[in-house]
Structure 1
Amino acid sequence: MLGLKISFCTVAMNRLHHLRQTLPVNIADNLSYGNLEFVILDYNSNDGLQDWIRETMHPQIKSGILKFFRTDEPKLFNRSHSRNMAFRLGKGDILCNIDADNFTGPGFADYINKIMQNSPDTFITPSFHIRDIIGKLAIRRADFWGYRGYNEEITGYGFEDIELYKRLTKYAKNQHQFSDKQFTRAIYHSNEERVSNEFISVNSAHIFVRYINPDSSELYFLYKDGSFEFATFIDKQHLPVIMLERAQLDNMVALERPFQSGFWKYGDQFIQLFKPGTKGSKLKFSNNRKYIYNNRLGIKLYEITSTELKNEMILLKTEVENRLGLSALLSKPLHEINSGGFGLGSVIRNFQFPVKLEKCL
């Protein structure tokens, strides 16, 4: 008996180096299933991805096993929007997100079909929170549409998948979790790659940290457009119980209050920060330019110059913010999720056929 049609959907923005390793293997590992397709969405890459697909994967496109789409519209990466686009382009009964650095594993299509045939109200995810595979979701096409896809209010890195999983379980969908080693392989990569195409990474001019006490530090993110954001991060292990309850979705780090914003500018040997309701504070550069300070205010901000540490701070900021917003998002009525449409945009299919993804009623 022919199984349910499965669409393995992969979004790539400058991830050719990963797809070279995963895509041929993933096709070979599931080809025997028969009733499936691989949907690749090139989310405006500039690393030669479409040329590699054209030159290397022509037989797979000709056979119909591979569908290649490209959009030139996005300037920055957006996980929720890009995955919604890819899922909308898939024609399968089952839509499955496979990140560019993920291997499906041999027989994953057969595994998905067996679970879905036996449990119609089920969606499938990994059973543990390994960062590189947590987004490996298989969901019925009807449920993707009925429960309104990934929430496009969530920007930055983290929790767009968790929010969708929690929303599905909220509406009585069953979550089947797998832990088989053959289905949980992924290519290790740096945090820099995780955030390299996102706003906060592309537009950061400076990141400063201010020590407050052993449990608290203030982070400042200064952007190239002259704006900045700042907040105090707290080690939750030492919070009073009442504050711990308030910050329970925040893992081991909490914010004293939501990020505040202001604007900044360079001066002669100083940076001036304008916080809300202030005339601005001048912070001088140290002689070795490792920190800026204002002795009168008792402020000293150390600049984070290590690429690795900068990317850790970017991840920390976006994950904490998205985690903090989960409760509010999950309390929204379903009809308010992506009420303006989701996965909207224009793509070219197989290098020549234009496709317009418009708002559906």
Structure 2
Amino acid sequence: MNRLFTLKETLPGNIAACKQYPNAEVVLLDYNSDDGLSQWVYDHFREYIAQELLVFYQLIDPQPRFFSHAHSRNMAFCLATGDILCNVNADYHIAAEDLCYMNDKMQPSDPLALIAHLDNSERDNLGRLCLRKEDFELIGGFDERFKSYGYEDIDLNMRLKMADVRIEYMPAQFDNAYVDHEDRSRLENSYDYHHLKRAFLRKMAPGRTRVLFLYDDQHIEAGTLIKSGHNFPDIEEEGWLRGQWLQAGKEIWLEGLGTSTLRYREGSSQLIREDEIYEEVTDISSFQEILFKKSIIQNYQLMKNRRRSENFRANADGFGKGVVIKNFSEKIQLG
């Protein structure tokens, strides 16, 4: 969603790479973007659409306001006609030799998936994935409960292992072949980016920070962030507490986070209640960082619960549902 600025750098080269490889198909999904993507494709890529090298889909129902990595990928993978599926984010570069490598590795009778190495990869590489379509369908696609950014691809890799699909890491030639961009672009199409009004932090002990998130619809989310052994932020077992907040003059009242209403006095970028002092996150970079952490934490909790359940199949009611327009003309319903 709204990644035209990276597609302008990657799509022409990716199509050129696929032209050198027989039976390659580039599936591009416009997930309700408002940055001019559809017009740009119409103006510059109708030749490749006519050649059936590029297949362009526009999502028309639903018309999501916010981006879902899981749902958008599920739609694209369901629309693809090949036996082998390769996830190519809008900021990825691919080469003809990459396609040859993946085709040589992926055999019809071998349940194998190629993924980015979690320990050695930059964040931008983690979404790289190649697998058989039948294995993708077996595990129920990407888990559409995952919102915003983070872990939906790692969760899928874990479920592939649970389903006895063999996992191999992609070689170093795939690393760093992407368009670098700010973290803001990962978050700006999320619900939190548009509706989180204020955020407050309170350092409780080394490695423990209490956070308050106040939303513009008056709901609040609170939790205690902790350091973890997997290099990503985590939250204490109680998880997120949810309630309501109310501005009352120079006070903010919080309800639903305990047995009684919590009343905080507003100071200079602070919330104060007896010996509790929360500092407001006011600068843009810190605000974006806490949004990123929140997204990572929420999705990590889902993945942990999935691991405990030992159930590899997601989306019991189906996945990748929606209505799209194919190549500016044909309406198709999925699911």
- TM-score scaled to structure 2, two decimals? 0.92
Kindly provide the amino acid, as one letter, of the partner of residue 303 in structure 1: E
Determine if the alignment matches structure 1 residue 39 to structure 2 residue 27: yes
Q: From 298, 302, 318, give the equivalent of 1:321.
A: 298
Q: Is the CA contact (8 Å cut-off) linking 1:30 and 1:108 kept in structure 2?
A: no
* Residue in structure 2 matched with residue 152 of structure 1 by the alignment: 144
**Distance (Å, rounded) in 2 between the aligned partners of 1:270 and 1:16:** 44
Q: In the alignment, which residue of structure 2 is the partner of 1:292?
A: 271
CA deviations over 1:139-175 (Å, ceiling 9, x no partner)? 1111111121111122231111111111111222111
Match of 1:312, SS state, is: helix
Structure 2 counterpart of 1:117? 107
Matches within 5 A, 1:1-361: 13-72=1-60, 73-117=63-107, 120-127=110-117, 128-182=120-174, 184-236=176-228, 251=231, 253-256=233-236, 257-286=238-267, 289-294=268-273, 297-332=274-309, 334=311, 337-358=314-335
Count the aligned residue pairs.
330
Whether the aligned pair in 2 keeps the contact of 1:105 and 1:183 (CA below 8 Å) is: no
Give the distance between the partners of 1:259 and 1:307, measured in 2 at CA: 23
Structure 2 residue runs without a partner (length 5+): none
Task: Say if 2:200 and 2:213, in contact at 8 Å, map to a contact too.
Answer: yes
Give the Cα–Cα distance (whole angstroms) in 2 for the partners of residues 82 and 58 of structure 1.
23
SS of the residue 1:149 aligns to: coil
Question: CA, structure 1 residues 235+146, in 2 after alignment: closer, same or farther (shift >3 Å)?
Answer: closer
Mapped to 1, the partners of 2:291 and 2:99 lie a distance apart of 35
The question of whether the paired residues in 2 share the 8 Å contact of 1:122 and 1:139 is answered with yes
In structure 2, relative to structure 1, the CA distance for the partners of 1:146 and 1:254 (3 Å cut) is: closer
Tell me the secondary structure at the aligned position of residue 25 of structure 2: strand
Conserved? CA contact 1:67–1:349, under 8 Å: yes
Measure, in 2, the Cα distance between the counterparts of 1:338 and 1:118.
Answer: 25
Change (3 A) 1:180 1:106: farther
> Which amino acid in the other structure matches residue 291 of structure 1?
Q
Deviation at 1:333, TM superposition (A): 5.8
Q: Which amino acid aligns with 1:16?
A: L
Give the letter for the 2:303 counterpart: L
C-alpha distance in 2, partners of 1:102/1:75? 24
What amino acid does structure 2 have at the position aligned with 1:275?
G
Instruction: State which drifts further: 98-107 or 18-27.
Output: 98-107
Give the whole-Å Cα distance in 2 for the aligned partners of 1:112 and 1:119.
Answer: 15
Give, as a single letter, the amino acid of the residue that structure 2 aligns with 1:220: L
Structure 1 length as normaliser, TM-score? Answer: 0.86
Question: What residue identity is the alignment partner of 2:106?
Answer: M
1:301 is displaced (CA, Å) by: 1.5
Q: CA deviation at 1:223?
A: 1.1
Amino acid at match of 1:107: E
CA contact (8 A) 2:135 2:165 kept: no
Identical counterparts, % of pairs? 31
What secondary structure is seen at the aligned counterpart in 2 of 1:132? helix
Q: In 2, are the aligned partners of 1:104 and 1:183 still within 8 Å (CA)?
A: no
Which deviates further from its counterpart, 87-96 or 151-160?
151-160
Take 2:275 and 2:82, find their aligned partners in 1: how far apart are those partners?
61
Offset of 1:327 from its aligned partner? 2.9
Distance 1:355 1:191, change over 3 A: same
| Alpha-carbon RMSD | 1.9
> Residue type matched to 2:316 in 1?
S
Report the Cα offset of residue 199 of structure 1: 1.3
One-letter code aligned to 2:224: T
The 2-side partners of 1:222 and 1:335 are apart by 35
SS in 2 for 1:264: strand
Name the CA shift for 1:74/1:254 in 2 (closer, same or farther; >3 Å).
Answer: closer
- Contact persistence 1:191–1:308 (CA under 8 A): no
Q: Using the alignment, how far apart are the partners of 1:331 and 1:338 within structure 2?
A: 17
Displacement after TM superposition at 1:280 (Å): 2.2
Deviation digits for residues 324-344 of structure 1, max 9, x if unmatched?
332321344658521111011
Q: Does the aligned pair in 2 maintain the 1:30–1:107 contact within 8 Å?
A: no
Do the aligned partners of 1:151 and 1:337 also contact (CA within 8 Å) in 2?
yes
